[in-house]
Structure 1
Amino acid sequence: MQTEIGRKIKIAFVDDCLLQRTLMKIAVVNHEAFDLCFNCSNGLALLKELERTADLPDVCLADLHMPFMNGHEAALHISDKYPSIKLFGYTTTDNILELERFKANGALFIFDKTNPRMTLEEIKFWFNDDI
């Protein structure tokens, strides 16, 4: 199933854990509403990809704790340079201060890393109002 605008939701995923990147790739490939355009290991790598493309993703799903550029910093840059991208967090932390900081830096919602398929379903729900 594609979105009502006739195309899939383009998603960028950023997480330093190879297992998480692999699980999300599998979940996206098997989900009819999404297209994975970037699968990066840290925020800096994602920003480099965003700078090189004219076809921005609709969504960015970012881990909080990563080397080189963490989710807090990446969220600030994405919110500032690419305001059209809906930014979501993806983390295992339960530290309220970190979660609130992530939201203050631009994350609309923060998902727990327990179920990639459910995360995609919830992100799709965020697009029901826009499409």
Structure 2
Amino acid sequence: MKMNKPVKIVFADDSDIHHFLLENLVTKFVRLQLLIKAKDGEQLLDQLSNINVVPDVAILDLHMPSVDGLTAAQYLLSRFPFIKIYGFTSSSDEREKSDMLASGFLKIFPKNKLRELLIELSQLA
């Protein structure tokens, strides 16, 4: 019998409100486990170096101070080749979204669709 393991998530966004929303929403999904919350890509990468768990999914904001979502995604994909990266942005710039997809992001969610993003993640095998 196959056991469904939790989907291990790392999250980087410079918005306190999105950290609060994610923390509260993720508890409603049994199959999701939030490993790391970071204020930017640099903090995320630093925290990842201190854990011995391989994340399944990264949710990255595009525009963050220090290390942005594109740079963080490149590093994550080089270190964790099977990680699934989802964009989480308020940007409506189609060129930026194209750049995200070309950099390895699987899908991009607008910031007002966090619940929908978590629903999708909870259905990952």
Instruction: Name which of 76, 79, 82 aligns with 1:78.
Output: 76
Partner of 1:99: 97
TM-score, normalised via structure 1 length: 0.88
- Which stretch of the first structure deviates more once superposed, 13-22 or 113-122? 113-122
Q: Extract unaligned runs of 5+ from structure 1.
A: none
1:44-85 Cα distance to aligned partner (Å, 9 max, x none): 111112222211211100001100001111111111121121
Q: Extract unaligned runs of 5+ from structure 2.
A: none
Distance 1:123 1:32 in 2: 11
Identity of counterpart residues, as a percentage?
31
Distance 1:6 1:124 in 2: 11
Instruction: Name which of 114, 117, 120 aligns with 2:118.
Output: 120
- Which stretch of the first structure deviates more once superposed, 68-77 or 47-56? 47-56
TM-score, normalised via structure 2 length: 0.92
Any idea what SS the aligned residue of 2:105 has? coil
Partner of 1:66: 64
Distance 1:73 1:50 in 2: 15
Q: What root-mean-square deviation, in Å, do the aligned CA atoms of Structure 1 and Structure 2 show? A: 1.3
Number of corresponding residues: 124
How do 1:20-35 residues align onto structure 2 when only pairs under 5 Å count?
A: 20-35=18-33
